[in-house]
Structure 1
């Protein structure tokens, strides 16, 4: 049995997966502008931090919470 074939999973498990996807999508919609703003602030420090920027930026992103928001900001910085 393939673990990726959702049709073969129990209905409760499929529903839980769909609920989590919906929660994460709503979180993304509500926080995207803020994440872009935080990423822009981190990127704005690149010239000032010079060679230490990468480590500094990593520390700034690591200090964010929850992990979902941290990942959003990390993706925006990496763009």
Structure 2
């Protein structure tokens, strides 16, 4: 299977572009909310101590739609990496 768009039919390319557009619109509309949710999850770290990672996984699994959960997961990872780099 080729991932070169030039080797795909017009319909396949249009479908890929439509999905990319949908995901970009979703990202634009929900980034602020995802950052706030990620901040909430990270703020629980000191209180939950060793159980925090398990709790965050459960919280992320409960989020809907899955695209939003992925966006929040990305933001949590970015914030955690930024905190680790600032030490």
Whole-angstrom distance in 1 between the partners of 2:61 and 2:17: 28
> Which residue does the alignment assign to 1:14?
13
> Which residue does the alignment assign to 2:28?
29
> TM-score, normalized by length of structure 2?
0.87
> Which residue does the alignment assign to 2:52?
53
- Deviations 1:1-50, CA, capped at 9 Å, x for gaps: x6111111000010010000000000000000000000000000000000
Whole-angstrom distance in 2 between the partners of 1:5 and 1:47: 47
How many aligned residue pairs are there?
78
> TM-score, normalized by length of structure 1?
0.95
- Higher mean C-alpha displacement, 28-37 vs 3-12: 3-12
Q: Give the gaps of 5 or more residues in structure 1.
A: none
Q: Give the gaps of 5 or more residues in structure 2.
A: 79-87
- Cα-Cα RMSD: 0.8
Runs (4+) of structure 1 exceeding 6 A deviation are none
